[in-house]
Structure 1
Amino acid sequence: MGQSSIKTVAVVGLGLIGGSLAKAIRRSHPSWRITATDIEEKHITMALEEGVIDEGTTNFEDIVRQANIIFLCAPVGAIPTLLKQVAACASDGAIITDTGSTKEYIVRTAMECLPPNIFFIGGHPMAGTEHSGYAASIPHLFENAYYILTPLPSTPDQAVKSLKDLLSSIGAIPLVMEPQLHDKIVGAISHLPHVVASALVNAVQDIDEPQHLKERLAAGGFRDITRIASSNPKMWRDISISNRQQLLELIDSIIQHLDKFCRYLNEGNADKIEEFFSRAKRFRDSIPRLQSQASSLYHDLYVDVPDRPGVIGEIASLLGQHSINIKNLRIINSREDEPGGCLVLSLQNAASLRKAKEVLDAQGYKTYAK
């Protein structure tokens, strides 16, 4: 099945992810038929009124039978049961995929319950916000975000390609991997941070301080590193349980690192304490470079900019006037191996990078291509 043969997409669950998928597909493929189901009638009503979906119902059987691709956008704990129900209604040749943030158990369920004429590809969009519900959904949620796919061994390559092409068309970056590896990596970089952020907030909350100064002073860095603790508690309950074994091992690792730090602190070992922070800093500082080397998807242009209001908007507008699309943008401070205090523009290809460099150089900006 290629993109040209896709006529109908069904979205089961119109929350943040499902609603954003429907909006993104509608924007990229306005002629496709998009149907949806949700337990909340108000979500269906909103999506219909906005023209995001063509048909909506609280009964998923009818829309599932019509669909070429079916997205299961339910809480991760509900997906295995939902998968069995949807598989019993899907038409021959349909592709079923999910958006759950753990994959091993879901993939195993699919291997046990799917008939041979229905194809399953596990999915996990590495995108989201601390908000939930259809009202929070946005069509550009998946742009420049990795979208992990974990197909079954029996899933045809053409089915995987069809889904990859669809996801690429809405701006996502599809990446195929084994479900066990997915759960281990995502457990470390997503699930564990939510646990740690919540533990940190709870620890600060428990400080006995009747004047409530901690609430007034908890800004800046504290708010930044604990932002994810504001996410949906029920969703993270389900995620934690579904990735229990990986999470237990990762929490044990965190405890070991904290035990080491406590020992260094008790000993007053300044060298070990500094190395503890230095080791973390070295890896943290390397992450953007590692991502760039791993993906080689975009070309970065570094631009020295003066510290004045509006300069970023001026650069973006200038490139926009020359039809140069910025795929990502970030600001970095002075670092040993990069130009000090500059704007980093990620561009889609080498031609865009060359054109952007020419345009900005002509306007007097100092640029570095990497």
Structure 2
Amino acid sequence: MGDITAGFIGFGLIGGSIARAMRELYPNATLVAYNHNKDVPNKSLELAQEEQILDKIYTDLSVGFSKCDIIFLCAPVLTNIEYLKQLKSIIKPSCILTDVGSVKGNIHEAVTNLDLDANFIGGHPMAGSEKAGFINSNSKLLENAYYILTPTAKTSDKKLEFIYSLVEDMGALPLILDYMDHDNIVAAISHVPHIIAASLVNLVKKSDSGDEKMRALAAGGFKDITRIASSSPIMWQNICLTNTKSIKGFLDQYILSLQDISSALNDPNEDFLYEVFDTAREYRDSIPNKAIGMMAKIHEVYLDIIDEAGAIATIATILASNNISIKNIGIIHNREFQDGVLRIEFYNEESSAQAVDLLRKYRYTIYER
């Protein structure tokens, strides 16, 4: 893949992170990007060129993108669809068109209508940050993140293998799904939660007193479950307008579940209320370690640590001196555990078990999940 030419339309956090990863992986690749505004320089693209991430910036798609082997559509979903119409007469037959949007239905329908099924493979890197833009991009952003691929009925094995290998090379975990299944899944686990978070924040804002006591005391659990409400309003407006059917289906179910809880509070129904929290607790606790279909099991442990300099380094040294490799490590910033809880992920179950035994000998309090 070293001599490929990759084009980017839209160059924010995800597009920039993909470009950074590709530059590190394939230093001889040609990476180009599109500036839709001919009269106004794009500071992000110019910065990327200064950092030698991008080779060239074009203001004319027909000039710069006709030789691309793969084109990443990294603009909002509805904008990406408009670009497909322009690219149809420009790209070479072997070119792969892919996007990074979290909704696949609309763009797949547009691809079919434009007879681009043989070129298109939908993509959704399930990674991100509250911080947007190329300035916050990172070549490691996609590492260990699921990267959903949604091929069409006309996608060739060669094209699918190409992008699958590319995703793996970037350190992400490729997973092939039907685009309709994808939209239902992300509606339930991502889109509806964002709506709930935003509506909860707005509820507190509207309910707050003039001296803003709620705002002053909003911390801990409230900030944990509403963190995602800080995301881009334009992006989430686009998502709601493009994955409407799936979102509405799950949102209506959620509203009914809230009505059931409201009724249980009126009765009051003690058993029902207990079941709500107990069922949720059991399922939530099962999420990190469950292997589902193609998704690999995660081997992780949690432990209390003292909040002092060198605490993490001490644990890492203990494990390294016993030849136990760490896949990922970091502090958990929520109230599910006591303060100062460290999450350590390992490459396999054997390493995880060895680490638990070893750290317990050093009198660390371990939480296995």
Normalising by structure 1, report the TM-score: 0.86
2:15 paired with 1:18: yes
Shift of 1:344: 5.0
SS of equivalent residue, structure 1 residue 155: coil
Q: Tell me the secondary structure at the aligned position of residue 312 of structure 1.
A: helix
Aligned position for 2:65: 64
- Paired AA for residue 327 in structure 1: K
Q: Secondary structure at 1:89's aligned position in 2?
A: coil
- The counterpart of 2:32, out of the listed 28, 32, 35, is 35
* Aligned partner of residue 119 in structure 1, secondary structure: coil
2-side partners of 1:189 and 1:359: how far apart?
Answer: 31
Report the count of equivalent residues. 356
Structure 2: distance between partners of 1:59 and 1:22: 20
Give 1:215 deviation, angstroms: 1.2
2:108 is aligned to: 107
Q: 1:306 to 1:45 in 2, by over 3 A?
A: closer
- Shift, 1:304, TM fit: 5.6
Structure 2 distance, partners of 1:129, 1:268, is 41
AA partner of residue 347 (structure 1): F
Q: SS at 1:65's partner residue?
A: coil
Query: Could you tell me how far apart the structure 2 residues matched to 1:369 and 1:21 are?
Result: 34
Alignment of structure 1 residues 195-344 onto 2, 5 Å: 195-290=195-290, 292-295=291-294, 297=296, 300=299, 302=301, 307=306, 309=308, 310-316=310-316, 326-329=326-329
CA contact (8 A) 2:125 2:142 kept: yes
Instruction: Say which SS state the counterpart of residue 219 (structure 1) adopts.
Output: coil
1:9 and 2:6 equivalent? Answer: yes
Quote the Cα distance in structure 2 between the aligned partners of 1:71 and 1:50: 20
Name the CA distance, whole Å, in 2 between partners of 1:238 and 1:203. 22
276-285 or 236-245: bigger deviation: 276-285
Q: Is contact 2:208-2:215 (8 Å) kept?
A: no
Is contact 1:65–1:89 with CA below 8 Å preserved after alignment?
yes
Judging changes above 3 Å, is the alpha-carbon distance between structure 1 residues 300 and 234 closer, same or farther for their aligned structure 2 residues?
A: same
> What amino acid is aligned across from residue 254 of structure 2 in structure 1?
I
RMSD of Structure 2 on Structure 1 (CA): 3.1
Q: Percent identity?
A: 38
Structure 1 residues 208 and 330, CA, compared in 2 at 3 Å: closer, same or farther?
Answer: closer
Cα offset, 1:37, TM superposition: 1.6
Deviating beyond 6 angstroms after TM superposition, the runs of 4 or more aligned structure 1 residues are 320-324, 366-370
Deviations 1:15-42 (A, max 9, x none): 1111111111112222211111234611
Q: Does the 8 Å CA contact 2:301/2:356 hold for their aligned counterparts?
A: no
Query: Are 2:79 and 1:82 aligned?
Result: no
Partner of 2:64: helix, strand, or coil? helix
Change (3 A) 1:313 1:151: same
**CA distance in structure 1 between the aligned counterparts of 2:209 and 2:131, rounded to whole angstroms:** 30
- What are the ranges of 5 or more consecutive residues in structure 1 without an aligned counterpart? 333-340
* Aligned mates of 2:81, 2:242 — CA distance in 1: 11
Please list every run of 5 or more consecutive structure 2 residues that lacks an aligned counterpart in the other structure.
333-339
Moved more, 54-63 or 313-322: 313-322
> Match for residue 159 of structure 2?
159
Shift of 1:182: 0.3
Answer whether contact 1:301 1:357 (CA < 8 A) is retained: no
- Equivalent residue for 1:53? 54
1:335 aligned partner: none
1:136 and 2:133 aligned: no
Query: Once structures 1 and 2 are overlaid, which stretch shifts more, 214-223 or 306-315?
Result: 306-315
List per-residue Cα deviations over 1:141-167 (Å, max 9, x = no partner): 111110111001111111111101101
Q: Deviations over 1:289-331 (max 9, x none)?
A: 22x4545636626476654533323333566789976333367
Which residue pairs with 1:347 in the alignment?
346
Return the letter of the residue paired with 1:97: T
**1:44 — aligned with what?**
45
Q: Quick one: structure 1 residues 342 and 211, their matched pair in 2 at CA, closer, same or farther if it must change by over 3 Å?
A: closer
Aligned partners of 1:184, 1:241: CA distance in 2, in Å?
A: 15
With the length of structure 2 as denominator, give the TM-score of the two structures.
Answer: 0.86
